[in-house]
Amino acid sequence: MSNKKAVVIFSGGQDSTTCLFWAVEKFGKENVMGLSFSYGQRHSSELDAATHICEKNKIKHLILPIDVYSQLEAVPFMSEVQCSLLNDDLEIKTEDDSEFPNSFVPYRNLLFLINAAIAAKFFGAENLVIGVSQIDYSGYPDCRAEFIYGTQELLKTAISENVIIHTPLIHLTKAKTWEMALDLGILDLVYNETVTCYNGIKGEGCGKCPACELRKQGYLSFFESQN
């Protein structure tokens, strides 16, 4: 595998788009592939955004289907997980009595990283890039540095080859993520063309869901720092 090629886990949202162009700058456009997953998520607009961004910027892009979540959701006795990002009938809650937000998809980042590692092997890359942050995030345990480190070691052990997971945003606030987009020359693209909203609305989104609130607060902090 090559240390000059990279697979970016690419949802079409603010964070993964920033990471995609970070990877393009670091490894070169010809060596980067955006990898998106169709996993039964609430809406398809994020995949449309991912496709549009890659086509517009002539970046390699692949959408892989992962149907484990939708298969399990369809089984009546498999009902312990009630996830609002997988079920259109569930309201997206900002707070409840559960251990995790009801938008949490169990093992999603692990599933993504394992599949990205497989794709990277076929692509001839040893670098994986994922846009997780443990500073401004929604309380998901698979966004923490310890999870990333553990998964990297697991992947290395599984194949006895070097696998490097890059997390450019892991210690950044949302305001600093906006600043990175500015430095990469993609601020307008990220602001207008990405889908971060849990309700699938492009750009500024619905303005009400947790993802939109976090995005807006980060942008306002970034904007104030620039003026």
> Which pLDDT value is given to residue 12?
97
> Which pLDDT value is given to residue 118?
96
> Which pLDDT value is given to residue 105?
79
> Which pLDDT value is given to residue 131?
96
> Which pLDDT value is given to residue 1?
67
- Long-range pairs of 21-24 with CB within 8 A, sequence gap ≥ 24: 21/181, 21/184, 21/185, 21/186, 22/129, 22/168, 22/180, 22/184, 23/127, 23/129, 23/166, 24/57, 24/59
Q: What is the mean pLDDT of each run of 10 residues along the chain (227 residues)?
A: 89 97 98 94 90 98 92 80 62 57 79 96 97 77 90 92 95 96 98 94 92 94 91
Strands 2-9 and 60-65: unpaired
CATH number of 2-173: 3.40.50.620
> Which pLDDT value is given to residue 83?
62
Q: pTM higher than 0.85 for the full model?
A: yes
Backbone angles phi, psi at 142, to 5 degrees: -90, 20
> Which pLDDT value is given to residue 218?
95
